[in-house]
């Protein structure tokens, strides 16, 4: 089966002033097309960190992520923006909706950014 996602030896170390924390160490797994996967772990175990890296919000400090046949760390900022717009769905724990917009407008915004025809947005 084709792999939709490959996470290969991904590590993440957060560096702070005077200290650092190794959150992920050589995480590897792959997910096939059509597979539905959940990630479980205690609070602080690194689930959000891993999803941020897969979701292109953050970068790993080691290893790489492949979505389809594309290595995420080899995309430019513009390519990453296009990738997020066209290929990725991401629901945040705290939603991150825009307060100035209605719920409907928040949903429509993604279609407007993709230049979808007005009928489709409505």
Interface ranges with Mg ion (CB under 5 A):
47-48
Q: Which does 38 bind (CB under 5 to 8 A by kind): ligand ADP, Mg ion, none?
A: none
The answer to whether 11 and 60 are in contact (CB under 8 A) is yes
Locate all alpha helices (DSSP H) within 1-122, ordered by sequence: 47-54, 77-87, 103-113, 118-121
For ligand ADP, the closer of residues 49 and 60 by Cβ is 49
Contact 56, 84 (CB under 8 A): yes
* CB nearer to Mg ion: pick between 3 and 47: 47
Which entry of Mg ion, ligand ADP, none binds 23, CB below 5 to 8 A by partner kind? Answer: ligand ADP
Q: Are 84 and 78 in contact (CB under 8 A)?
A: no
> Shortest Cβ contact with Mg ion: which residue?
48
| Cα gap 57→105, rounded to integer Å | 23
Binders of ligand ADP among residues 28 to 87 (CB under 6 A) are 41, 43-49
Binding site for ligand ADP (CB under 6 A): 14, 16, 21, 23, 41, 43-49
């Amino acid at each position: 089966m084709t792999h939709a996602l490959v996470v290969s030896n991904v590590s993440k170390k957060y560096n702070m002033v005077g200290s650092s924390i190794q959150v992920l160490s050589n995480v590897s797994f792959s997910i096939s097309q059509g597979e539905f996967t959940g990630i479980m772990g205690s609070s602080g175990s690194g689930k959000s960190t891993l999803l941020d890296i897969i979701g292109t919000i953050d970068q790993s400090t080691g290893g790489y992520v492949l979505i389809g046949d594309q290595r995420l760390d080899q995309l430019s900022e513009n390519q990453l923006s296009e990738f997020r717009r066209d290929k990725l769905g991401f629901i945040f724990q705290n939603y991150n909706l825009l307060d100035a917009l209605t719920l409907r407008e928040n949903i429509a915004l993604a279609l407007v950014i993709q230049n979808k025809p007005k009928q489709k947005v409505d």
